[in-house]
């Protein structure tokens, strides 16, 4: 076996503007109703199957290796397994993001046969009451706990995510222990962001007290896991968005990343190949985003700040400006001297 450094490969793709990851937000419909969810409405079941398949073929020709299906809740799409099978027949690595609520052993067995690369899901707490309070779905913890253990039984790689709010601010301790015991990947964050339509009510759920200690502790924990690599270097390519990554929303809109909701085209009006190569908006982003961010140049936090351009656009309405949510975490890290 040859060990392949996938980070190195994706970095090389980023530098060469070569597609590596394509993400489909298949729908916004969902069977849960999480209190913090950034999706304003859960009313669309997404693009026609054939359009998605055609776009998968294009992504493959553009050089993609990874494909991610997310939502809303992907298990609600009747054609989900057909789409996964189609992507696997194109020899793509398939990553799924789902709340795991409506999985069952038959579906998990099928996922295992299809050889998916990863199933990523969300656990808010190991206390069923708190988890269910956040999902506003009675019995959801019990259901997903059972399903996560079944995913393990069928040897499917699992990532567990735990967004932290005031309600579950210490949950990372037990969820991480559960992930470690079972050999799952783990991700956690204290960033709870605005809804996609600008409604900032999710901010009210953010951690109110103890943020400093929690920030420092999760920083240390996350060093042991694979996580998204955001750089503190504010010069050069900021992240993979639009450089090696592209996202197709359920209405056909194309964004550089699912966190960077900057419309660069729509696959119902054009096609992915044309957008990837010729989109004026995408090429402008590629050109401007590599320039230093003036707010950051003189900022004393720049050594610790992990700025996400998507958050800067969503929350501060300035794609090339300071990100208030990154700043909030950077201040805590700065106090801790990291």
Partner 1 sequence: MKITYSKNIAWQEFFGTVHIFNEISHEAFILNDLAKEFWLLISKSNDFDEICYMLSKNFSTISFEQVKSDFNEFMVDLIHNDLLHTVEDEL
Ligand X SMILES: C[S@@+](CC[C@H](N)C(=O)[O-])C[C@H]1O[C@@H](n2cnc3c(N)ncnc32)[C@H](O)[C@@H]1O
Residues engaged in binding partner 1 (CB under 8 A): 1-4, 9, 12-13, 16, 18, 60, 63-65, 88-89, 91-93, 115-117, 157
Q: Binding partner of residue 323 among partner 1, ligand SF4, ligand X, none, CB under 5 to 8 Å per kind?
A: ligand SF4
Question: Is residue 332 at the binding interface for ligand SF4, with CB under 6 A as the rule?
Answer: no
Minimum CB distance to ligand SF4, residue 167 (Å): 14
Instruction: Report the alpha-carbon distance of residue 87 to residue 66 in Å, rounded.
Output: 10
Query: Nearest Cα to 121, choosing from 138, 108, 106?
Result: 108
Stretch of 36-44, 167-175, 272-280, 303-311 lying at the interface with ligand X (CB under 6 A): 36-44
Q: Which does 64 bind (CB under 5 to 8 A by kind): partner 1, ligand X, ligand SF4, none?
A: partner 1
Q: Report whether 244 contacts 18 (CB < 8 A).
A: yes
Residue 301 binding: pick among ligand X, ligand SF4, partner 1, none (C-beta 5-8 Å cut-off by kind): ligand SF4
Residue closer to ligand SF4 by CB (options 13, 76) is: 76
Stretch that binds ligand SF4, among 16-24, 32-40, 82-90, 268-276 (CB under 6 A): 32-40
What gap in Å lies between CA 336 and CA 179, rounded to an integer? 26
Cβ atoms of 120 and 161 within 8 Å: the answer is yes
Helix (H), strand (E) at residue 171: helix 171-181
Q: Which residues 6+ apart lie within 8 Å of 173 measured at CB?
A: none
What is the C-alpha to C-alpha distance for residues 336 and 330, in angstroms, rounded to an integer?
10
Whether 296 contacts 231, CB under 8 Å? no
CB under 5 to 8 A by kind: which of ligand X, partner 1, ligand SF4, none does 330 bind?
ligand SF4
Closest approach, Cβ 136 to ligand SF4, in A, equals 8
Q: Please identify, using beta-carbon distances, which residue of 64 and 322 lies nearer to ligand SF4.
A: 322
Which CB sits closer to ligand X, 261 or 299? 261
Residue with tokens 């253990």: 149
Task: Decide if residue 327 touches ligand SF4 (CB under 6 A).
Answer: yes
Q: Does 193 bind ligand X (CB under 6 A)?
A: yes
Contact (CB, 8 A) for 86 and 113:
no
Q: How many residues bind ligand X (CB under 6 A)?
A: 19
Asked whether the beta carbons of 14 and 115 are under 8 A apart, the reply is: no
Task: List the 66-70 sheet strands across, edge first.
Answer: 185-189, 158-163, 118-122, 93-97, 66-70, 21-25, 245-248, 253-255, 265-266
Window contacting ligand SF4 (CB under 6 A); options: 5-13, 71-79, 174-182, 241-249: 71-79
Measured from the CB atom, the residue of 93 and 110 that comes closer to partner 1 is 93
E strand intervals along the chain: 21-25, 66-70, 93-97, 118-122, 158-163, 185-189, 245-248, 253-255, 265-266
Decide if residue 71 touches ligand SF4 (CB under 6 A): yes
Angle at 116 between CA 110 and CA 121, to 5 degrees: 95
- Near ligand SF4 by CB under 6 A: residue from 307, 310, 325, 329: 307
For ligand X, the binding residues (CB under 6 A) are 30, 34, 36-39, 70-71, 73, 97-99, 121-122, 161, 163, 192-193, 202
């Amino acid at each position: 076996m040859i060990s392949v450094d996938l980070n190195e490969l994706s970095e090389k793709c980023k530098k060469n503007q070569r597609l590596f990851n394509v993400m489909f937000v298949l729908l916004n419909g969902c069977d849960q109703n999480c209190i913090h969810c950034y999706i304003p409405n859960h009313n669309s079941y997404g693009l026609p199957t054939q359009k998605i398949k055609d776009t998968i073929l294009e992504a493959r020709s553009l050089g993609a290796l990874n494909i991610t299906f997310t939502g809303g809740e992907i298990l609600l799409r009747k054609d989900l397994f057909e789409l996964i099978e189609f992507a696997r027949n194109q020899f793509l690595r398939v990553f799924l993001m789902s709340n795991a609520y409506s999985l069952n052993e038959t579906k998990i067995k099928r996922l295992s046969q299809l050889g998916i690369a990863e199933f990523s899901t969300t656990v808010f707490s190991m206390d069923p009451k708190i988890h269910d309070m956040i999902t506003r779905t009675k019995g959801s913890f019990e259901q997903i706990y059972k399903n996560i253990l079944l995913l393990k039984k069928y040897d499917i790689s699992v990532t567990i995510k735990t967004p932290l709010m005031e309600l579950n601010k210490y949950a990372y301790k037990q969820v991480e222990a559960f992930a470690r015991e079972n050999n799952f990947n783990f991700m956690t964050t204290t960033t709870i962001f605005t809804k996609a339509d600008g409604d900032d009510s999710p901010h009210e759920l953010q951690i109110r007290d103890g943020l400093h200690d929690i920030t420092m502790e999760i920083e240390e924990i996350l060093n042991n896991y694979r996580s998204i690599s955001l750089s503190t270097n504010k010069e050069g390519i900021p992240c993979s968005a639009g450089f090696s990554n592209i996202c197709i929303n359920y209405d056909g809109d194309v964004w550089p990343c699912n966190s960077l909701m900057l419309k660069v085209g729509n696959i119902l009006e054009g096609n992915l190949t044309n957008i990837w190569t010729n989109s004026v908006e995408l090429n402008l982003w590629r050109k401007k985003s590599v320039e230093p961010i003036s707010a950051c140049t003189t900022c004393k936090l720049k050594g610790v700040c992990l700025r996400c351009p998507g958050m800067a656009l969503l929350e501060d309405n300035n794609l090339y400006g300071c990100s208030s949510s990154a700043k909030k975490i950077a201040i805590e890290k700065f106090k801790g001297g990291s």
